[in-house]
Structure 1
């Protein structure tokens, strides 16, 4: 004996299975069949973040500036690699944050739900913590060479 909810869901599944598969899948939902298509999807994600996420643009600018300062101060390759990894970590987390926000918005629409707020806040907090860590790492790596360059 099944509940009315289960019967309702089974009916919906049967309705969906009778639809042609082309209606169920749009190009954005398809799995990439080759590497160039995978890169194309990834570049679309980066493009979306560049267009719509102010923080992503700020983080890219600050990352590039930090990298330029590191090259100017002639820091070693290991430290430059650490800075690169920290910048990449912040950008990756910002993209994940953007994806989580879009998914939550898709799932709940314009309604408020406390769990949606928690998901969005925690994703944003991950970016914030990584950003603080990246600034601290850059400060530790760049401070001494900067003091030497300035004669302090």
Structure 2
């Protein structure tokens, strides 16, 4: 008989998708510029002062090409801009435009409301415990050999 128990990575992925779907639906209902899940993730890992495409790709766990495509889509909508990196003549930083900052603040409010909804569904203690567990530094992944 096959186990119906989901792995922790599967559960974390489903939880992330719950927030992502709620965020994108609320943004669409508010008439915001439509963004893809990858573009929304890019916004979440972008530093306020700007971030290189290579660093965005690393943080998102995607290829540079995928990050580059997401950036170009968001630049085309006016939510992001590319500016020279003062630390490197070869690099460009990706940062939010004024409209991108407004959208980022709007998304933060929506995510707070989603967290409140989650607390109503599973209880504030469970949400607090989940947050506390996820905020503890895990360190680097161990090197395990298969049994």
TM-score, normalized by length of structure 1? 0.27
Q: Between Structure 1 and Structure 2, which shows a larger proportion of helix residues?
A: 1
TM-score, normalized by length of structure 2? 0.28
Greater RCO (CA < 8 Å, at least 6 residues apart): 1
